[in-house]
Amino acid sequence: MKKTTKDDFSMMTLAEKGMIIMNNGKHLTQISKGNYLLNLYLFEDFFVEIFYSISTNKIDKIEIMTDLSRIDEYIDDIIKPSKEAEKLQLN
């Protein structure tokens, strides 16, 4: 199967992007940001974000992460203990 390039991916429709990521992407993590759940995937040799709207229950956009410094947002959320974990540690 031919490798999908960033340009190929960018030209796809939202539905096409969703299908290829769900079938071939590797889900890495999810963060909550305002009214959105942001899901980070690794696909081919690039990162893709899926923006899921909690209020509309729909995916609003799927885009290639071009600013790799934004990965820090996901990492910070992974290493930051949850409130429940903090409570357990205190007991």
Cβ atoms of 48 and 21 within 8 Å: the answer is yes
Please name the residues in contact with 59: beta carbons below 8 A apart, sequence gap of 6 or more.
14, 18, 50, 51, 52, 53
**What is the reported pTM?**
0.80
HSE-up (13 A, CA, CB side) for residue 39: 17
Q: What is the pLDDT along the chain (91 residues), one digit of tens a residue?
A: 689 999 999 999 999 999 999 999 999 999 999 999 999 999 999 999 999 999 999 999 999 999 988 888 888 776 665 555 455 445 4
Closest CA relative to residue 31, chosen from 76, 81, 87, 84: 76
Closest CA relative to residue 38, chosen from 27, 52, 59: 52
**What pLDDT, on a 0 to 100 scale, did the predictor assign at position 81?**
56
